[in-house]
Structure 1
Amino acid sequence: MSTLVWAITDGVAEIALDDGKVNALSEQMLDSLLAAIAEAARADAALLIYGRAGCFSGGYDRKLIAAGGPACDAMRAAGDRLTLALLDYPAPVVIASTGHAMAKAAFLLLLADYRIGAAGAFNIGLNEVAIGMTMPDAAMPQARARVAPQWLNRCALQAQILNPEQALEAGFYDELATGGDLLDRAREKARQLAALDRKAYRETRLLLNAPLRAEVLAALG
């Protein structure tokens, strides 16, 4: 079963993640995602990323994290490349979070231009500390830059898991939608952003993301 499908329609590249489970961001999934993003960038298409119903993604593959070693390092390196690819993307980036979004998946939300979350009994959060991980050096600047200040301590340090309404307040989402309306609303938003002057959008986006990009690169060494 393919873990990712994508297509470009009317100037919007849609990337759907679906591994039949929790959309774990394995090295394979990340490489496929990076390849699709690169193709979409070459087409100068706006980008819409979403997951399977009920789960955007559970984050990195927990089995690889537990095992450590070269495979885990390769997965993390692919995740860092994805961070930079999203920061550098030359067109609008919209994410429709179709349910749970944990750890690395929650960081992806922070990198998008507009995020629409599914309303319902879903968990969103940076749970690294709760599972015994120190927040990665390159991840902390993302949290500081994009999580609302009054929520930063609770999210990054205390690993508080948020419901969609709290995630909206904390800055992971820009709006919420019911499951049946989520993708329609996300497609509408992607088309709306794609209609803005592309040169102005691209150059302003790069300016907006430049300080965070520099911090991430410095942390990666």
Structure 2
Amino acid sequence: MPFLSAQPTVADVAELFLGAPGTELDEANPENRFRLEWIEQVESLVDTAVADGAKALVITATGKFFTNGLDTDFIAAHAAELPAYLDKVHGLYTKILTLPVPTIAAINGHAFGAGAMLALCADHVVMRTERGFWSLPEAALSMPFTRGMASLIRTRLTDRTATEAMLTSRRYAADAAVAAGIVDEAVAAGDLLARAAAIGAERAPLAGPAQTLIKRGLRQPLLADLAVPTPPSLL
């Protein structure tokens, strides 16, 4: 399950890991998929980090995956619950998009689907070189995007990049992701966490209630789309 680092790289910059501590792969959720309990745990840890005085938040993981997105096993077994499940995913996006502290996504491995979109919720995104892709596989899987998800991608990326990413399911390595404007920086794996923490430290003095107000103003149409309940007719 996700956890907050007990020894963050930089003081006042919390580090949220999306997998289990002490191992590259969480045996219970090896791809860091958006299981219901995982979503709840991530939200709780984000709230804890802010309540404990963090001035910035780094979101990362270890191993092969940043996160592989939606819990497809749950979706297959609980089709009737899909709208409510997707609304919970939207709720997590909204929380990250409106935090009162600067947020940095440090993509350590594959970020696919809903996981790729989670990275886009951060204020700044760094991605490791050597291994891992950012991708929206929905088109290849014949899956539609929710209104909120489409708005998130359209808002955070250029129209040309959003069109390519959404319609072709292209897999972007770090350098290609930088060129496409998906991520801000590509860094070596050994420097990923330190670079993300350094950015957090640079922006930490900006933390405070005004950050949330500014983010809500900046992202108002997106937040409105994420708040629209997912219709049962989506699929």
Which of residues 43, 46, 53 is equivalent to 1:37?
46
1:129 aligns with 2:131: no
Q: Unaligned regions of 5+ residues in structure 1, if any?
A: none
Query: Contact 2:102 / 2:200 at 8 angstroms: preserved in 1?
Result: yes
Q: Unaligned regions of 5+ residues in structure 2, if any?
A: 20-25
Provide the C-alpha distance between the structure 2 equivalents of 1:72 and 1:212, rounded to a whole number of angstroms.
Answer: 21
Which of residues 204, 217, 220 is equivalent to 2:227?
217
Query: Contact 1:44 / 1:91 at 8 angstroms: preserved in 2?
Result: no
Tell me the percent identity. Answer: 26
- Equivalent residue for 2:62? 52
Between 85-94 and 195-204, the greater mean CA deviation after superposition = 195-204
Judged with a 3 Å threshold, the aligned counterparts in structure 2 of structure 1 residues 219 and 14 are, in CA distance, closer, same or farther, namely same
Which of residues 156, 162, 178 is equivalent to 1:146?
156
- Equivalent residue for 1:155? 165
SS of residue matched to 1:84: helix
Q: CA offset at residue 32 of structure 1?
A: 0.3
SS of residue matched to 2:182: coil
Query: Contact 2:58 / 2:200 at 8 angstroms: preserved in 1?
Result: yes
User: What code does the residue aligned with 1:38 have?
Assistant: D
Q: CA offset at residue 144 of structure 1?
A: 0.8
TM-score normalised according to structure 1 size: 0.89
1:80-91 → structure 2 map (5 Å cutoff): 80-91=90-101
Deviation by residue 1:176-218 (Cα, 9 ceiling, x = unmatched): 1111110111111111111236455443223222231123224
Judged with a 3 Å threshold, the aligned counterparts in structure 2 of structure 1 residues 64 and 146 are, in CA distance, closer, same or farther, namely same
Q: Which runs of 4+ in 1 moved over 4 A?
A: 70-74
Q: CA offset at residue 114 of structure 1?
A: 0.6
RMSD of the alignment, in Å? Answer: 2.1
Provide the C-alpha distance between the structure 2 equivalents of 1:149 and 1:66, rounded to a whole number of angstroms.
Answer: 32
Q: CA offset at residue 70 of structure 1?
A: 5.0
Which of residues 98, 116, 138 is equivalent to 1:106?
116
Provide the C-alpha distance between the structure 2 equivalents of 1:68 and 1:161, rounded to a whole number of angstroms.
Answer: 29
- Equivalent residue for 2:2? 4
Greater relative contact order (Cα < 8 A, sep 6+): 2
Q: CA offset at residue 173 of structure 1?
A: 0.9
Judged with a 3 Å threshold, the aligned counterparts in structure 2 of structure 1 residues 129 and 120 are, in CA distance, closer, same or farther, namely same
Aligned pairs, number: 219
Which of residues 159, 172, 183 is equivalent to 2:182?
172
Judged with a 3 Å threshold, the aligned counterparts in structure 2 of structure 1 residues 161 and 66 are, in CA distance, closer, same or farther, namely farther
Provide the C-alpha distance between the structure 1 equivalents of 2:221 and 2:209, rounded to a whole number of angstroms.
Answer: 20
Q: CA offset at residue 89 of structure 1?
A: 1.0
Query: Contact 1:137 / 1:219 at 8 angstroms: preserved in 2?
Result: no
- Equivalent residue for 1:115? 125
